[in-house]
Amino acid sequence: MNHRVDAPEQAIDFNNENSNTSANPTFDAVLGARLSRRGLLRGSVGTVGTAVLGGFGVTACGGSDDPIAEANPVPEAKLLGFGAVPKSLADTVVVPAGYTASVLFALGDPLAAGVAAYKNDGTDGDFNKRAGDHHDGMEWFGLGADGKRNDSATERGLLAINHEATTDEKLSSFFLHANGGTSTLPRPAAEVDKETDIHGIAVIEVATTAGKWGYVPTSALNFRLTALSAIEIAGPARGHAQLVTKYSTDGTRTRGTLNNCGTGKTPWGTFLTGEENWFGYFTRGATDDAARGNDKSVTSLKRYGRNQGAASRHGWETGGIDDKYQRWNNSKIGVSANGSDDYRNEMNGMGYIVEIDAYDKTRMAKKRTALGRFAHESAAFGKVEAGKPLSVYMGDDSRGEYIYKFVSTALWSTADANAADRMAVGDKYLDSGKLYVAKFNADGTGTWVELALTNTAISGYTTYSFADAADIAINTRLAADAVGATKMDRPEWNAVNPANGEIYFTLTNNSNRRIDPASGQYLPDAANPRAYTDMKGTSAQNGNPNGHLVRLKEGSSVSSFSWDVYLFGAESGADKALVNISALTADQDFSSPDGLVFSKATGICWIQTDDGAYTDVTNCMMLAAVPGQVGDGAKKTLSYTKADGSKLDIITPVGKAATESTLKRFLVGPKGCEITGLAETPDGKAIFVNIQHPGEGTAMANIGDATKYQSQWPANAGYGAGKRPRSATIVITKNDGGKIGT
């Protein structure tokens, strides 16, 4: 997500709503009084000399080049052989010595024939034929010489890229407009049209020639989906009364995919994209609750972050009388009983995992409603085994939201892996199944609770009356509240370790954890055990400002798992008993883990950050990890003293301590960015990484004065016209031709 941490004037946070007011406890175990134990983990401190090298506008630093290593390629078994990249506040991408990072595809770059080069001065148009903004999750789809799917291709492929959002202030995506745009209502149609077009996804062809990667601007395979593209509703909610709109009076379609964050790739070769903070784009009238007769749709809207009177993030509903603008007004304004004459139900068309055939732009994308509706991040498949159901793991990124698992009804048939009609395979596995939510127990076990009307906690829920399975698919958060799911510290991406099938989740941070919670705040619990204060200059960051990662191991039944905390984000100098519990060194310390991808080629777990807490010391980064397994560490006790002097001890299973062989910083990005999304070629010799919203701390008032931009990347790396910062995909290769991260 983007978050304007340096723009306090933006009072409303459209990216991180906070609507879980359910009474279910964050954690239901009794916390026994235990002796406080200062659990110290011993970490080795590895430092390397720093060499700064020029190259393609990025800086390489770390260990000096080793001629012996170059003559004798690094054994494949040796991972993390690179020199750690130091923390950096420079306006550049820093990678280890021996690596090269190059800009590949930036905001505004053309992806269709006849589209002019990007001027980057606010006068460009045709954004539905250009790279969108805020590049996020990303997947690789190999192409053979015939331009068709080839899973073993390493030199030619498609990248499917999420374009999550845009850098904005006071309504306007100011880098996209010549003078910064209009920051009052109504918004001009021309500005709104640009802003809707830079959302969605892009599919672009990429190829390497003589070791140099580029994208193919005029490839016939390239395409965009935007916030206005027609998309099918699939699964249990298809045709449901809650999806009836003026645009789709039978509730089978909607327009657009929005705020696309994490991704997934199916075993049959399609792209999955998660719709995250979509609620903020809609407005509701000041008296809409009464207009709806205070029916259950009001309960639903509130639970998904839209109280009556809510303003929209960009004011797109004011672009004109055309239906494409009016659809952003989620108020009941029509006279029909079913909503077929207005957009009172429009928000119910957002919040899903969307399946897209990256190889075939003629196939309409489908929203897979069986996987639930929330602030979706990535969708990772568990171990794929013939004759068994498929599992898909997902997180809901808002404070105090939940972790989910979908299990298909259909059993996996290997013949489906290469079926010609990929979307039909998606129908088979993703439209029917069971959806579960996670409850974490204090003893390191957990339960997947099925969200179904057969559960009396759901059928008898007094807060919201569920009508049918579709109602659960659309109002998933309410169903999860009903069964008492565990409130987590903002579940971001998840990824499955290909070595053992264990599932890793980043929990990016949570400002609502407190030892002495006020209303709307929660006590720490075993799976979310930290509540502390970190200073950012003179500003106190409270709760769990640095985030952590949990990992799960499936149990003997579909409803059981075990878990531990894999790693805690922290500053290396922080207290090792309560904050830097993983004993991170200066080469490893990080804050706010977000993107998470396991390399199938090397097994490396790539951890990316989207931080606002440690950014006084370092820009956001990417680390390489070689994790062990659930249970490889020991239980730790975090001993807190409450305001009244009483003790609060939280006991939590923590993974084996990281060493310099198992965790190392690989990349630091330019100013104001987050690092997100990673795709690799199947040989592991090229990785693609997204630099999202460099310069997002720029004040709109400074548009036109490049000297006042927080960042001028990638222009300062020699890429493209103009000096306005641009989100971009970069490609990283190893100069000796080896696998990335070795």
Least spacing, CB of residue 13 vs ligand FEO, in Å: 12
Nearest distance from residue 98's CB to ligand FEO, in Å?
Answer: 31
Question: For residue 16, what is the DSSP state?
Answer: S
CB of 460 to Ca ion, least distance (A): 36
Cis peptide before 491 (omega within 30 of 0): no
- All residues at 6 or more sequence positions from 645 whose CB lies less than 8 Å from its CB, including other chains: none
Q: Which parts of this chain interact with ligand FEO (CB under 6 A)?
A: 1, 164, 261, 276, 377, 397, 492, 594
Residues in region 714-733 near Ca ion by CB under 5 A: none
Choose the stretch contacting Ca ion; rule: CB under 5 A; options: 142-150, 546-554, 594-602, 688-696. Answer: 594-602
Nearer to ligand FEO, 602 or 690 (CB): 690
Q: Please report how many Cα atoms fall inside a 13 Å half-sphere around the Cα of residue 532, on the Cβ side.
A: 25
| DSSP 8-class letter at 120 | -
Closer to ligand FEO by Cβ: residue 512 or 562: 512
Min CB(504)–ligand FEO separation in Å:
16
Q: Are 202 and 261 in contact (CB under 8 A)?
A: no
Detail the DSSP E strand segments found in 134-291.
135-142, 156-163, 200-209, 212-215, 223-225, 230-234, 253-255, 260-265, 271-275
- Shortest spacing between CB 728 and ligand FEO, in angstroms: 17
Residue 534 interacting entry, from ligand FEO, Ca ion, none, C-beta within 5 to 8 Å by type: Ca ion
426/543 with CB nearer Ca ion = 543
The smaller minimum CB distance to ligand FEO, of residues 158 and 596, is found at 596
Nearer to ligand FEO, 401 or 502 (CB): 401
**Among 59-67, 214-222, 223-231, 532-540, the segment contacting Ca ion (CB under 5 A):** 532-540
Is the CB of 578 or the CB of 728 nearer to ligand FEO?
728
Tokens of 391: 């599992």
Chain center to CA of 130: 22
Among 489, 594, 611, 680, which residue sits at the site for Ca ion (rule: CB under 5 A)?
594
C-beta of 17 vs 109, nearer to ligand FEO: 17
Q: Quick one: 164 or 525, whose CB is closer to ligand FEO?
A: 164
CB of 571 to Ca ion, least distance (A): 6
- Taking the complex as a whole, the smallest distance from the CB of residue 262 to Ca ion amounts, in Å, to 6
* Separation between Cα atoms, residue 550 and residue 444, nearest integer Å: 11
CB of 595 to ligand FEO, least distance (A): 8
23, two tokens: 């009474």
Binding partner of residue 164 among ligand FEO, Ca ion, none, CB cut-off 5 to 8 Å per kind: ligand FEO
What's the closest the beta carbon of residue 677 comes to Ca ion, in angstroms? 9
Q: Is 139 in the site for Ca ion (CB under 5 A)?
A: no
Give the binding range for Ca ion (CB under 5 A) out of 73-81, 281-289, 416-424, 591-599: 591-599
* CA separation for the pair 235, 273 (Å, rounded): 16
Task: Give the largest CA-CA distance in the chain.
Answer: 78
Instruction: Please tell me the distance from the alpha carbon of residue 501 to that of residue 380, in angstroms, as a whole number.
Output: 11
Q: Which CB atom, from 251 or from 545, has the smaller least distance to ligand FEO? A: 545
Cβ at position 672, least distance to Ca ion in Å? 16
Query: ∠ CA(463), CA(467), CA(473), 5° rounding?
Result: 85
534 lies in the site for Ca ion, by CB under 5 A:
yes
> Is 155 buried (19+), middle (13-18) or exposed (0-12) by CB count in 10 A?
middle
User: Quick one: which H or E segment has residue 401?
Assistant: none
Distance CA(91)–CA(287), nearest Å, equals 47
| Binding residues for Ca ion restricted to 294-313, rule: CB under 5 A | none
When CB distances are held under 5 to 8 angstroms depending on the partner's kind, the choice from Ca ion, ligand FEO, none that residue 37 binds is none
List Cβ neighbours of 611 (8 Å cut-off, separation of 6 or more): 590, 591, 592, 620, 674
Rounded Cα distance, 623 and 615, in Å = 16
CB of 1 to Ca ion, least distance (A): 5
Nearer to ligand FEO, 276 or 502 (CB): 276
- Cβ nearer to Ca ion, comparing 17 with 205: 17
Burial zone of 631 (CB within 10 Å; 0-12 exposed, 13-18 middle, 19+ buried)? middle
> Measured from the CB atom, is 494 or 602 closer to ligand FEO?
494
- Pick the closer one to Ca ion by CB: 84 or 261: 261
Residue 371, number of CB atoms within 10 A of its CB: 28
Alpha helices in 216-348 (DSSP H): 288-291, 296-303, 323-326
471 contact, one of ligand FEO, Ca ion, none, CB 5-8 Å limit per kind: none
Contacted entry of ligand FEO, Ca ion, none for residue 474, CB cut-off 5 to 8 Å set by kind? none
Q: Which is nearer to ligand FEO, 528 or 602 (CB)?
A: 528
Q: Minimum Å distance from CB 147 to ligand FEO?
A: 32
Percentages of the chain per state (helix, strand, coil), in multiples of 5:
10, 30, 55
Residue 564, contacted partner among ligand FEO, Ca ion, none, CB below 5-8 A by kind: none
Q: Which of the listed partners (Ca ion, ligand FEO, none) does 231 bind, with a CB threshold of 5 to 8 Å by partner kind? A: none
3-state secondary structure string across 468-501: CHHHHHHCHHHHHHHCCCCCCECEEEEEECCCCC
**Least distance (Å) between residue 29 CB and ligand FEO:** 28
Q: Work out how close the CB of 605 gets to Ca ion at its nearest, in angstroms, rounded to a whole number.
A: 16
Residue nearest to Ca ion (CB): 594
Least distance (Å) between residue 503 CB and ligand FEO: 17
**What are the CA-CA distances from residue 176 to residues 12, 87, 276 (Å)?**
21, 31, 22
* Binds 169: which of ligand FEO, Ca ion, none (CB < 5-8 Å by kind): none
Paired residues of 687 in beta bridges: 680, 732
The closest of 549, 524, 572, 560 to 633, measured between CA atoms, is 549
Report the residue number, 111 or 667, with the smaller CB distance to Ca ion. Answer: 667
Cα distances from 45 to residues 584, 736, 738, in angstroms, run 9, 27, 26
Stretch that binds Ca ion, among 111-119, 288-296, 440-448, 534-542 (CB under 5 A): 534-542
Nearest distance from C-beta of residue 242 to ligand FEO, angstroms = 25
Place of tokens 């509730």: 251
Decide if residue 589 touches Ca ion (CB under 5 A): no
Region from 193-201, 303-311, 405-413, 590-598 binding Ca ion, contact rule CB under 5 A: 590-598
> Pick from Ca ion, ligand FEO, none: which does 170 bind, CB < 5 to 8 A by kind?
none
Q: Which tokens is 53 given?
A: 């090298």
Per-residue HEC secondary structure of 126-159 comes to CHHHECCCCEEEEEEEEECCCCCECCCCCCEEEE
Q: Which of 280, 333, 332 is nearest to 311 (CA)?
A: 280
Which uninterrupted H or E stretch holds 70?
helix 67-71
Residue 275 near residue 162 (C-beta atoms within 8 A): no
- Quick one: 288 or 492, whose CB is closer to ligand FEO? 492
For residues 384 and 1, what is the distance between their CA atoms, to the nearest angstrom?
30
276's contact among Ca ion, ligand FEO, none, with CB below 5 to 8 A by partner kind, is ligand FEO
Contacts with Ca ion by CB under 5 A lie at 261, 534, 536, 594
